[in-house]
Structure 1
Amino acid sequence: MTVSRRVLVLVRLSPASLAVLGARFHLLDLHASPLPMDAFLAAAAADNDDPPRAALIPGHGSVCVDAAFLDAVPSLRCVLFNSAGLDHVDLLECERRGVGVANATGVYSADVADYAVGLLIDVLPRVSASDRHVRRGHWPERGGHGFTLGRKRVGIIGLGSIGSAIATRLEAFNCAVSYHSRRQKSNVPYCYYPTARDLAECSDVLVVTCPLTAETRHIVDRRVLDALGSGGVVVNVARGANVDEVELVRALAEGRITGAGLDVFEHEPDVPPELLAMENVVLTHHQAAFTPESVADLDRLFVDNLEAFFRGSPLLTPVVVYD
């Protein structure tokens, strides 16, 4: 009997990506269906002869993979995500049911690291702010409008693949890099701090790259922002809720920190209106990871993980439950 290669596609993929995957697997694409999500899942699950055994899930949280979702499609034994973050996944429930989970770890690391450094380069010398002044016909007096990046003390919250890539890039600017993460890393040359507040006290810049978990939600809070101080800058390329957005807005408005570069927000796509009026803040639409190169890499990873799953081999980028 031929093993089913039907795959639920709940991610909005480009035509090119659909063609790559469709050449190997039988895709059931939510975004090509007239049915709403619940009815789409019910229809897929109702095919007892050839039920879907794998699913591609968006990483931004529009689909919560929990007991209710897994009940809706009980045939699933593998879920693949197009992000590294898995804050919308009940990993314990997946493990209990024998559902393999794989994410896109490593695919986006270089692009997100480049983007984070780009945000920092923009915020400190105030590149975008100066561009806006010129376009408005203004020519500010020379001096005092930006800050140097070189030799800054940069603290990274989350020294995973993205954080490590950022650290390597910042070494070229002679920045003093330090970090906080769930555990101290061996064989890295950077100073470790046991708390985010300790890290902030010894940093000019905080770059947030950690996953969003119960422990890291609002890891950058008022205490951390106050420890960073009036000359400090926050760059967030992780998840919006890693930063207490209300406190960030207050700190910026009151001059308790000097600037921010934000690619993510706590309640996307909503952006606090106060931020829109601030010249010392650079705002982008959660786009750091998405380049043509990274999308092509993700397609290849989807194919390789699915092929491994359907032939009974280990997934290439499995996610495990931490104890």
Structure 2
Amino acid sequence: MAQTRLSVVVTRRLPAPVEARMAELFDARLRGDDAPMTRDEMAEALQEADVLVPTIRDRIDAGLLAGAGPRLKLIASYSAGVDHVDLAAARARGVLVSNTPGVLTEDTADMTMALILAVTRRIPEGLAMMQEGRWEGWSPTAMLGGRIAGRELAILGMGRIGQAVARRARAFGMRIGYHNRRRLRPEIEAELGARWWESLDQMVAQADVLSINCPHTPSTYHLINARRLKLMKPHAVVVNTSRGEVVDENALTRGLRAGEIAGAGLDVYENRAEINPRLRRMPNVVLLPHMGSATVEGRIEMGERVIVNIRAFQDGLCPPDLVVPGQG
């Protein structure tokens, strides 16, 4: 007898090749539009699915998991981060959680460098000037930005993405420092030309550009707070392509308005899509709509990793990107 196909519920629209493959392999319930599921819709999905495929915007908390049906055995998240899932509640119910690590490393590192250049070279200001017809011709002192070669790039979080940022920045002639929970091996430091700072305070005080590339955990929440922001040089720039919660956004806004920090490039925000309106009005702030991973190649690879995790589970194997171990 043919094996019963897994019931897989997908919470958002995914790239067409990914959806086609899921429909081929599983009993897939795909999203008709790209609107996030309501809480009631999510509760219904958890009741009927063997596998749920959520995204980073889907909050799957203990309350939702408490109402999950007995069939739910895997949450195969279409995301690198998993802070949107209550991992302890999932573990308690024997639900596996997988993610898609490493897929978006190069794309996010590219966007980090793009933001560094955009802020230091005032690219959005120049673009707005041209689009609004305000440019009156070249001038020796107009639109002066800063050269990044020779500047100190401080990387907070030296995992895959942090190291990819370091490689790019080194090619631009930047000096690399980093702070991490664990120091890298000497050969990796040598390859990256990176100096380890045991003290985060000392690192941010020396930074010309601070790049945030660490995950959001209880220990990293507001790691860049008002006190640390005040340690930074007045000409320093903050770039965040990781998680908005790592930065105290109100403190950052105050520092920018007071001229204590020269600029910021942000692709993520503390309150998700609820962006501090004062940030929108600052010419020295570049805001992007969480598009660091937004490449066709990257999003398809994410879907392929999700499928690999589901198929491994279906075959009775451990999903290769398991986050929460199952309970025997």
TM > 0.5 fold call: yes
**Contact 2:12 2:54 (8 Å CA) reproduced:** yes
* Counterpart for residue 121 of structure 1: 117
Q: Take 2:184 and 2:293, find their aligned partners in 1: how far apart are those partners?
A: 25
Q: Which residue matches 1:24?
A: 25
Cα shift at 1:94: 2.2
Question: 1:284, CA displacement in angstroms?
Answer: 0.6
Q: Give the conservation status (yes or no) of the 8 Å contact 1:94–1:101.
A: yes
> 2-side partners of 1:44 and 1:30: how far apart?
15
Q: Distance in 1 between matches of 2:224 and 2:45?
A: 43
User: What's the CA shift for 1:318?
Assistant: 1.8
Equivalent residues in 2 for 1:1-20, closer than 5 Å: 2-20=3-21
Unaligned runs of 5+ in 1: 46-50
Change (3 A) 1:173 1:312: same
Deviation at 1:14?
3.8
**Paired residue for 2:140, among 139, 142, 158?**
142
Cα deviation code 1:171-205 (max 9, x no counterpart): 10121111112222224312222343222012111
Select 1:63's aligned residue among 36, 59, 65.
59
Deviation per CA, 1:49-72, whole angstroms, max 9, x where unpaired? xx5321101113x32243532532
What is the CA–CA distance in structure 2 between the aligned matches of 1:219 and 1:18, rounded to whole Å?
38
Measure, in 2, the Cα distance between the counterparts of 1:96 and 1:201.
43
Structure-2 change in CA distance of 1:32 and 1:253 (3 Å): closer
Name which of 35, 40, 57 aligns with 1:38: 40
Q: Percent identity?
A: 30
Give 1:25 deviation, angstroms: 0.7
Cα deviation for residue 275 of structure 1 reads 1.6
Residue 91 (str. 1) matches residue 49 (str. 2): no
- Whichever residue aligns with residue 140 of structure 2, its letter is R
Residue in structure 2 matched with residue 304 of structure 1 by the alignment: 308
Report deviation, 1:33: 12
Equivalenced residues, count: 315
Deviations 1:132-175 (A, max 9, x none): 22333134742372001111111111111111111111110121
CA contact (8 A) 1:70 1:76 kept: no
Q: 2:299 aligns with which of 281, 295, 302?
A: 295
2:322 corresponds to which residue?
318
TM-score (norm 2): 0.88
The one-letter code of the counterpart of 1:183 is R
* Matches of 2:111 and 2:167, distance apart in 1: 14
> Which structure 2 segments of 5+ residues have no match?
none
CA distance in 2 between counterparts of 1:269 and 1:24 reads: 34
- Letter in structure 1 aligned against 2:185: S
Structure 1 residue 274 displacement after superposition = 1.6
Shift of residue 36 of structure 1? 5.3
Q: Give how far 1:245 is off.
A: 0.6
- What CA distance in whole angstroms lies between the structure 2 residues aligned with 1:99 and 1:287? 30
1:120 partner letter: I
Out of 186, 209, 219, the position equivalent to 2:223 is 219
How far apart in 2 are the matches of 1:278 and 1:101? Answer: 40
RMSD: 2.4
Aligned twin of 2:173: 174
**Contact 1:153–1:176 (CA<8 Å) still a contact in 2?**
yes
Residue equivalent to 1:236? 240
Does the 8 Å contact 1:30/1:40 carry over to 2? no
Q: Which moved more, 1:263-272 or 1:290-299?
A: 263-272
